[in-house]
Amino acid sequence: MSETVSIKGGVHRDLAHDSAAKHVTGAADYTDDIAEPIGTLHAYFGTSDVAHARITSVDLAAVRAAPGVVGVLTADDVPGVNDVSPTGRHDEPLFAKDTIEFWGQVVFAVVAESRDEARRAAALAQISYETLAHVTEADEAIAKGYPDVTAPMTLQRGDIAKGQAEAAHRINGQMRIGGQDHMYLEGHIAFAMPGEDDDVVVHCSTQHPSEAQHMVAHVLGVPNNAVVVNVRRMGGGFGGKESQMNQFAAVAALAAKKWNRPVKIRPDRDQDMESTGKRHDFVVDYDVGFADDGRITAVDAQFAARCGWSSDLSGPVTDRALFHADNAYFYPHVRLKSRPMKTNTVSNTAFRGFGGPQGVVGAERMIEEIAYALGKDPLEVRKANFYGDTDRNITPYHQEVEDNVIGRLVDELEQNSDYQARRQTVLDHNAKGGIIRKGISLTPVKFGISFTATWFNQAGALVHVYNDGSIMLNHGGTEMGQGLNTKIAQVVAEAFQVDIDRIKITKTTTEKVPNTSATAASSGTDLNGMAALDACDQIKARLVSWAAEAWGVAEDAVVFVANAVRVGEEEMVFSDFISKAYMARVQLSAAGFYKTPKIHWDREKGQGRPFYYFAYGAAVAEVSVDTLTGEYRVDRADVLHDVGKSLNPVLDKGQVEGAFVQGLGWLTSEELVWDDKGRLRTHAPSTYKIPLAGDIPREFNVKLADWSENRELTIKRSKAVGEPPFMLPICVFEALGMAVASVADYRECPRLDAPATPERVLMAVERLKA
């Protein structure tokens, strides 16, 4: 039967973010917009100003005596466990007690009538220390015998010695890759309301409400069911709110229970940047063997990461670096090792790509080395090493690549961006020897989708259909600007064949869906979309079986059509049908559940199928570099990205564009600097340069691969989009390298470290000229 009417807002169509108008008019409610009850108190952290020390005394008398102060909290005030480590390792005290492990570590919290009073009072503490030697860099940590902060991993396949013996050429080198601050618009914040008995409700800017809930319970020493965590939306998370909100949620809840008043905590931007974790910096040591045609025979590499003082998520982050150290390339013989190093710096954490980008940058450096050594176009070397479809398709973790589309993506992009002709123009331009040099590069991305901790790949949803036919949608995912709620509402609209404005999107709360995973690993839509669909299917099944019986028709004669339901010959508007169902006592609510099939992972063996599928993409960038100053600009970038069969192409394109620019910032202008005392000096936008509107490529063409469809049974055959495009701007980084290398006739790989700031570009130019 062909449908002439269709609903507003089903799947596979462009639809604005449900809160777009509210975002731009300021009407969207964030945690700090919740009306504060009279009597609300404000907490602020008092932090260390040394990188590594033994605490000899803590004198908080002046803090307590300051105007407006109600009291202070230290380790001694924790009724449960003084720990907020997300992995249960108990290596992350909420309040430092005996030792300081990094500059900016929380020692106490002060609670006052106003935020301003709390913030001023926090500065009055007198803390004495016996300073200890500190370490800030990962390689320095290895050299000084510092411990791994969590267990390292090794991935191994083939016979590395054999691969190296077969190699016609071998190159080894080292690359340093910088970290990144999340720079979400909305910083960390938590707002706790005490309840009766042990109860407390915490509104918190978090990607992981269940973890905040469990952590608050752990710190308060109460069962999880005493704590409710709510989040309507975040002003960006980017991984920075997967675990880092724990300390804020815990302190707000602790203070709320202690003084039986609502308590809010919101650090200023400097404290947010100093005291919460960032992307891991890496030092990559590689040894790559290859044949005359550029084909890799062996890769032996070590990925050492600056993890900071506690383990946080550094285990899975450094694991994911190894999972992506192949990018889209087949390594016949390979050995990859991680070194998650403890350092006296803030504890680094999840950030878009979760270590994957650092692995991919390492893979691309090896490709560049080969290309320069053989005098080839790096694109030719890339293609020569792509995974095959039926052979050469086993990853270093022994998962078969079954859904390879990288060849097609790269060929299409190469054609459509006119890569070959433009590369020739760039070469001709540089051959004239001017001050402005150009570079062009095309790089691929392959990214594994699923949490590598297999048990996280589960989700729940709760769908209510009210008796007026309006629908309430709740699921375990959180909205941070990525459009998750819109996509899931599209799925529900499609399932019931109703207009999307009939569906109420609600805050995420641990009361409605329990034991959720972080909205992370790009899997928010994959997991929660399926759970929501499961809930809809349960309700629909009940409706169908009731209607078939009530009307005396076969079940397949009950059909959901646009905003109506057809039962045999009769058609009713959806709301009438639902109110009839209610009167007939049909249960109109369901809890849905989903777990990702097929995946398994044995970390000890380094073998399994950690990923359900892969997302792919490719990008080509052209840059101009001023060789007298090192300044540069991106003249043009073209992207072709694979999101399977897109649920919402315009939202997906927004994710691709945003990820590209965020990745561009990571690889070019965003630089974290720690001084010799171990203090982060780049703790505000004045010293830490994120990309601005003017840094966006002058010409920026972003396309989705509209022919793609997920071969796995994901939600409507779509693919995750959140993180994979973050790695696309590696082409900008390599194009900068080409422009730099031109000053020495491309004889040498420029070996730029990341970020390729103008200073670093200029130094590389000077070095190559010399």
Residues in contact with ligand HPA by CB under 6 A are 242, 313, 316, 320, 350, 354, 451-453, 456, 518, 520-521
Q: How far is CA 55 from CA 47, 94, 131, 730, in A?
A: 12, 15, 8, 44
Q: In angstroms, give the least distance from the CB of 317 to ligand MOS.
A: 9
Q: In angstroms, give the least distance from the CB of 525 to ligand MOS.
A: 13
Single-letter amino acid code for the residue at 161: A
Please identify, using beta-carbon distances, which residue of 11 and 599 lies nearer to ligand HPA: 599
Please identify, using beta-carbon distances, which residue of 21 and 123 lies nearer to ligand MTE: 21
- Counting Cα atoms < 13 Å in the Cβ hemisphere of 118 gives 26
The residue whose Cβ lies closest to ligand MOS is: 239
Chain center to CA of 76: 35
Counting residues that bind ligand MTE (by CB under 6 A) gives 20
Q: How far is CA 433 from CA 7, 601, 740, in A?
A: 60, 53, 12
Q: Which does 453 bind (CB under 5 to 8 A by kind): ligand MOS, ligand HPA, ligand MTE, none?
A: ligand HPA
Q: What is the CA angle 98-103-109, rounded to 5?
A: 65
Q: Is 480 in the site for ligand MTE (CB under 6 A)?
A: yes
Q: Is 729 in the site for ligand MTE (CB under 6 A)?
A: no
**Token code pair at residue 208:** 């992981």
Q: Is 396 in the site for ligand MTE (CB under 6 A)?
A: no
Q: Give 674's DSSP letter.
A: B
Buried b / exposed e across 658-674, counting CB within 10 Å, b at 16+?
bbbbbbbbbbbbbbbeb
Token look-up 């696309």 returns: 728
Q: Taking contact as CB under 6 A, which single stretch among the options 77-85, 230-238, 283-291, 387-395 is the one that binds ligand MTE?
A: 230-238
Q: Is 448 in the site for ligand MTE (CB under 6 A)?
A: no
Q: How far is CA 265 from CA 119, 236, 246, 340, in A?
A: 10, 18, 12, 31
Q: Taking contact as CB under 6 A, which single stretch among the options 283-291, 326-334, 395-403, 522-530 is the one that binds ligand MTE?
A: 522-530
Q: Is 655 in the site for ligand MTE (CB under 6 A)?
A: yes
Q: Which does 668 bind (CB under 5 to 8 A by kind): ligand MOS, ligand MTE, ligand HPA, none?
A: none
Give yes or no for a contact between 640 and 445, defined as CB atoms under 8 angstroms apart: no
Element (H, E) at 66: none
Single-letter amino acid code for the residue at 431: A
HEC string for 526-550: HHHHHHHHHHHHHHHHHHHHHHHHH
Catalytic residues: 723
Q: What is the CA angle 111-113-114, rounded to 5?
A: 95
Q: Is 352 in the site for ligand MTE (CB under 6 A)?
A: yes
Q: In angstroms, give the least distance from the CB of 219 to ligand MTE.
A: 26
Q: Is 484 in the site for ligand MTE (CB under 6 A)?
A: yes
Q: In angstroms, give the least distance from the CB of 454 to ligand MTE.
A: 17
Q: Which does 657 bind (CB under 5 to 8 A by kind): ligand MOS, ligand HPA, ligand MTE, none?
A: none
Q: In angstroms, give the least distance from the CB of 458 to ligand HPA.
A: 13
Q: Is 722 in the site for ligand MTE (CB under 6 A)?
A: yes
Beta-sheet pairing, 613-626 with 607-609: unpaired
The residue whose Cβ lies closest to ligand HPA is: 521
- Residues 6 or more apart whose CB falls under 8 angstroms from that of 748 comprise 372, 741, 768
The three-class DSSP label of residue 43 is strand
Q: In angstroms, give the least distance from the CB of 484 to ligand MTE.
A: 4
Please identify, using beta-carbon distances, which residue of 313 and 615 lies nearer to ligand HPA: 313
Q: In angstroms, give the least distance from the CB of 720 to ligand MTE.
A: 6
The three-class DSSP label of residue 241 is coil
Out of 525, 648, 708, 718, name the contact with ligand MTE by CB under 6 A. 525
Q: Taking contact as CB under 6 A, which single stretch among the options 139-147, 395-403, 480-488, 631-639 is the one that binds ligand MTE?
A: 480-488
Q: Is 237 in the site for ligand MTE (CB under 6 A)?
A: yes
Q: Which does 484 bind (CB under 5 to 8 A by kind): ligand HPA, ligand MTE, ligand MOS, none?
A: ligand MTE
Q: Is 481 in the site for ligand MTE (CB under 6 A)?
A: yes
Q: Is 533 in the site for ligand MTE (CB under 6 A)?
A: no
Residues 445, 301: Cα–Cα separation, whole Å:
19
Q: In angstroms, give the least distance from the CB of 178 to ligand MTE.
A: 18
Question: What phi-psi label fits residue 354: left (phi over 0), alpha (psi between -120 and 50 degrees) or beta?
Answer: left
Residues that bind ligand MTE in the complex, under the rule CB under 6 A: 236-239, 352, 480-482, 484, 519-525, 655, 658, 722-723
